[in-house]
């Protein structure tokens, strides 16, 4: 048997504190499926589908199915380019702040 506390993922042993309950072992996993601990019970389900831009798959436990949800407006992210700094021009002040030498 396994043990869970407050819905935690089941473990073979407790830490000795109060509140642990026995739960059944995970069921066998059929090919192409996955077994997860969800909402205080074992669930056998298909793996999460691949998300596409602007959408995400979420597990709907009540219907025991994956539901695709829109994320709203998706805009491409621009990666900032590094700024070149001439380290020969850096100087430390008495307050340990970095400053630039003019000229």
How crowded is the C-beta side of 25, counted as CA atoms within 13 Å? 4
pLDDT at 87: 65
Split the chain (103 residues) into runs of 10 and give each run's mean pLDDT: 94 96 96 94 96 94 94 74 71 55 55
Q: How distant is the alpha carbon of residue 34 from its chain centre?
A: 17
Domain ranges of the chain: 2-70
pLDDT digits (tens, 9 = 90+) for 25-50: 999 999 999 999 998 999 999 999 99
Phi then psi for residue 89, to 5 deg, are -95, -5
| Distance between CA atoms of residues 2 and 11, nearest Å | 5
């Amino acid at each position: 048997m396994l043990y869970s506390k407050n819905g935690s993922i089941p473990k073979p042993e407790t830490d000795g504190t109060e509140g642990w309950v026995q739960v059944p072992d995970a069921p066998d996993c059929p090919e192409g499926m996955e077994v997860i601990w969800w909402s205080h019970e074992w669930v056998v389900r298909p793996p999460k589908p691949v998300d596409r831009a602007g959408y995400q798959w979420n597990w709907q436990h009540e219907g025991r199915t994956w539901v695709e949800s829109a994320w709203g407006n998706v805009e491409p992210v621009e990666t900032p380019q590094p700024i070149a700094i001439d380290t020969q021009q850096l100087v430390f002040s008495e307050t340990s702040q970095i400053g630039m030498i003019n000229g």
